[in-house]
Copies of this chain bind each other. A is one copy, B any other.
Amino acid sequence: MNAVIITIGDELLIGQVVNTNQAYISQELNGVGIFVDEQITIGDDFDKIISTLKNATEKFDVIILAGGLGPTHDDITRNALCKFFNCNLKLDEQVLENIKLLLTQKNLELTDVRQNQAMIPSKSISLENKLGTAPGMLFEFQQNKFLISLPGVPYEMKYIFKNSVAPFLKSKFTGNVILHKTLKTSGISESNLSQKIGDVKNILRDFENTSLAFLPNPMGTKLRITVKNSSSEKANQILNQMEIIIRSKVEKYIYSSSEDELENVILDLMTQNNFTLSVAESCTGGLIANRLTNISNSSKYFLQGIVAYSNQSKINLLQIDKSILEEFGAVSQEVAEAMAIQSKNISGSTHSLSVTGIAGPTGATIDKPIGLVWIGYSDKNETIAYQFNFPSERIIFKEVVSQQALEILRRKILKIPF
């Protein structure tokens, strides 16, 4: 089976927007066993869309289109589809209902422009988009050959893909299974990880059609296992065996083997143990609180965050002794520990994290260079602060520090030595 992804939008051709939709759709198609042969990007150009569709319907069995379905004048994909499939627009009652519901929720009026979004090509069926007014559209352009048109707004596209497109394609096509599993590590460098795992060829030798990739990024290195097999059961078996081998070498660094990020892992650990958390941040500026509260139900354990950015706020909000700040400076072990203790005391939480460091590009001294950071931790038995050096660009610095702080909390709860 041959599949192609066609993304549509001038913003892509001029390079204003990086094409993340392509990567997402490719991954998801892999997930239902469909390998993508080609990705094509074209502009908001009627004739070009038509000629690309002509070509694609001759060569491919599955065509995914993304982009050009909005309400404005430059969104012409829908009309091009009508012309290409030689049909008219029809009103789709379900889509109209959905649009009305969305507008009511947002307290907006049903204008002609918005109502017009409920018109879809008569040869298509609509795919529900609960997050926006443009529905997905599915055409069977030959028997068992499908064209699916999706909006380009990433979260709307993803919603429709997950809820309609993936289940539909899965029901239609079953072939070779490609399975990926990603083990996410934290608190260890790529090269140290590689050393601990040893020669990858030795691991792969025992397993056919498999690969192991190291995917490093500032937040930690991911290990991706890939298995291809005609039997889904067999593929799963091999995947599990490989995972066991890798875990036997680097278990303590692996915080997740799913979509879960550290903030999800922390939610589970905290709520399972009936712990509560407060954080006091300086250089991370609220990022830790923000990450933790990105997860539903974080209110079950996360009590409060304090972003004590100025020295005065460290005194006012956290009641840090002015003398400690003066003697050791804001970026010091003593202040990190005091912040953790005070955060716990003020909130009544069982656990706390604190962060104080120099994000840069300004604020460094000879003793305290850019990238220096102290991360404090406190629970009922222990208060401790760890020093790190992450000299990097400001936003990456914040991310790396937040990751390290959450990793400290994870290991403390699990009693894994740090």
A146–B155 Cα distance when bound, in Å, is 38
Proximity string of chain A (10-26) to chain B, C-beta cutoff 8 Å, 1 when within and 0 when not: 11111111111011111
A285 & B292 in contact (Cβ 8 Å cutoff): yes
Asked if A307 CB lies within 8 Å of chain B CBs, one says yes
| Smallest CB separation, A71 vs chain B (Å) | 6
Q: List A60-112 residues whose CB lies under 8 Å from chain B.
A: 70-74, 105-108, 111
CB-nearest residue of chain B to A193: B72
Q: List A199-231 residues whose CB lies under 8 Å from chain B.
A: 200-201, 211, 213-218, 224, 226
- Beyond A288-B286, A297-B362, A307-B306, whether A40 also contacts B39 by CB under 8 A is yes
B304 & A217 in contact (Cβ 8 Å cutoff): no
- Beyond A10-B211, A191-B111, whether A19 also contacts B23 by CB under 8 A is yes
Partner pick for A395 among B24, B294, B369, CB 8 A cutoff: B294
A309 & B290 in contact (Cβ 8 Å cutoff): no
B194 & A113 in contact (Cβ 8 Å cutoff): yes
For residue A309, which residues in chain B have a CB less than 8 angstroms away from its CB?
289, 293, 298-299, 302-305
Asked if A396 CB lies within 8 Å of chain B CBs, one says yes
Asked if A48 CB lies within 8 Å of chain B CBs, one says yes
A17–B296 Cα distance when bound, in Å, is 25
For residue A41, which residues in chain B have a CB less than 8 angstroms away from its CB?
22, 38-40
A106–B191 Cα distance when bound, in Å, is 13
Asked if A189 CB lies within 8 Å of chain B CBs, one says yes
Number of interface residues of A (CB under 8 A): 112
B285 & A293 in contact (Cβ 8 Å cutoff): yes
- Beyond A16-B224, A18-B23, A191-B114, whether A389 also contacts B38 by CB under 8 A is no
Asked if A46 CB lies within 8 Å of chain B CBs, one says no
| Smallest CB separation, A100 vs chain B (Å) | 14
Asked if A250 CB lies within 8 Å of chain B CBs, one says no
Q: List A1-38 residues whose CB lies under 8 Å from chain B.
A: 10-20, 22-28, 30, 35-38
For residue A316, which residues in chain B have a CB less than 8 angstroms away from its CB?
304, 346-347
Asked if A176 CB lies within 8 Å of chain B CBs, one says no
For residue A308, which residues in chain B have a CB less than 8 angstroms away from its CB?
304
Asked if A348 CB lies within 8 Å of chain B CBs, one says yes
CB-nearest residue of chain B to A7: B39
Asked if A169 CB lies within 8 Å of chain B CBs, one says no
Partner pick for A346 among B71, B190, B317, CB 8 A cutoff: B317
| Smallest CB separation, A351 vs chain B (Å) | 15
Asked if A312 CB lies within 8 Å of chain B CBs, one says yes
Partner pick for A13 among B24, B39, B195, CB 8 A cutoff: B39
B307 & A289 in contact (Cβ 8 Å cutoff): yes
A348–B311 Cα distance when bound, in Å, is 13
Given contacts A15-B25, A306-B306, 17 further A-B contacts (CB under 8 A): A12-B22, A12-B39, A14-B30, A14-B35, A15-B24, A15-B26, A19-B23, A74-B213, A155-B396, A285-B294, A285-B298, A290-B290, A293-B398, A296-B362, A303-B309, A305-B309, A306-B317
